[in-house]
A and B are shown apart, each in its own frame.
Chain A
Amino acid sequence: EVQLVESGGGLVQPGGSLRLSCAASGFTFSSYWMSWVRQAPGKGLEWVANIKQDGSEKYYVDSVKGRFTISRDNAKNSLYLQMNSLRAEDTAVYFCGYDWYHWGQGTLVTVSS
């Protein structure tokens, strides 16, 4: 059974940092592009970042470029999102997923003083 379990969310002050993790199981993690998508409270879905199977290609939405870094550890079947210089508008539930079909339950990031 495919499982994607996000962790690392929480309350952080503006300008602070957080590192989200996504533990994957039940599929060959190293064979798939991985994605982060977010959803602000009461708002729609927004794609955040993608990373290629070997980590050689990474893509980001403009609003997070230079602040967020997507990475992966295929030996640990884990996906990460390092978020720096956080802003109030980054407040959202962050979902990890692959193949646009399998998604985790999400982790809530709240940026507030």
Chain B
Amino acid sequence: DVVMTQSPLSLPVTLGQPASISCRSSQSLVHSDGNTYLNWFQQRPGQSPRRLIYEVSNRDSGVPDRFSGSGSGPDFTLKITRVEAEDVGVYYCMQGTHWPYTFGQGTKLEIK
């Protein structure tokens, strides 16, 4: 199985400051169709997961442009340019290239 390793697991950030979360995959995430199915999800306390980024760097509809995704195998990054209070929650990377699909352990973002 593909192991997705996130760091850090805890991320205290001051409001208005940037934040960055790393995700490393144990195998190439390039699918046979040429796409790289690396997603980023946000889960706010008590809520369902919400996808922010798909295929490494594509922002989903309604996602603020302060969120961005980048990288190429095996290292991927989610960046927030200026953290706001509503960004508190747990962030997960997930690969959808190889069965079984796998998530990272999650990074808990909190306001310092």
Give me the interface of A with B, judged by CB distance under 8 Å. 37, 44-47, 50, 59-62, 95, 100-101, 103-106
Count the B residues whose beta carbon is within 8 Å of the partner chain — how many?
22
16 chain-A/chain-B pairs, Cβ below 8 angstroms: A44-B90, A44-B92, A44-B103, A44-B105, A45-B43, A46-B103, A47-B94, A47-B102, A59-B99, A59-B100, A95-B48, A95-B49, A100-B39, A100-B94, A104-B48, A105-B48
Q: Which residues of A contact B60 (CB under 8 A)?
A: 101
Q: Check if A45 sits within 8 Å of B96, measured CB to CB.
A: no
Q: Which residues of A contact B105 (CB under 8 A)?
A: 44
Q: Which residues of B contact A45 (CB under 8 A)?
A: 41, 43, 49, 92, 94, 103, 106
Q: Mark B23-66, 1 if CB is under 8 A from A, else 0.
A: 00000000000000001010100001111001000001000000
A86 to B99, CA, bound (A): 23
List the A residue with the shortest CB-CB distance to B43: A45
Minimum CB–CB distance from A38 to chain B (whole Å) comes to 11
Give me the interface of B with A, judged by CB distance under 8 Å. 1, 39, 41, 43, 48-51, 54, 60, 90, 92, 94, 96, 99-106
The answer, among B1, B51, B106, for a CB contact under 8 Å with A44, is B106
Q: Which residues of A contact B43 (CB under 8 A)?
A: 45
Q: Check if A62 sits within 8 Å of B48, measured CB to CB.
A: no
List the B residue with the shortest CB-CB distance to A93: B48
A37 to B104, CA, bound (A): 14
In the complex, given contacts A44-B103, A100-B96, what are 5 additional A-B residue pairs having Cβ atoms less than 8 angstroms apart? A44-B104, A45-B43, A101-B51, A101-B54, A103-B50
The answer, among A59, A60, A103, for a CB contact under 8 Å with B49, is A103
Minimum CB–CB distance from A12 to chain B (whole Å) comes to 23
Q: Which residues of B contact A104 (CB under 8 A)?
A: 48
A95 to B96, CA, bound (A): 17
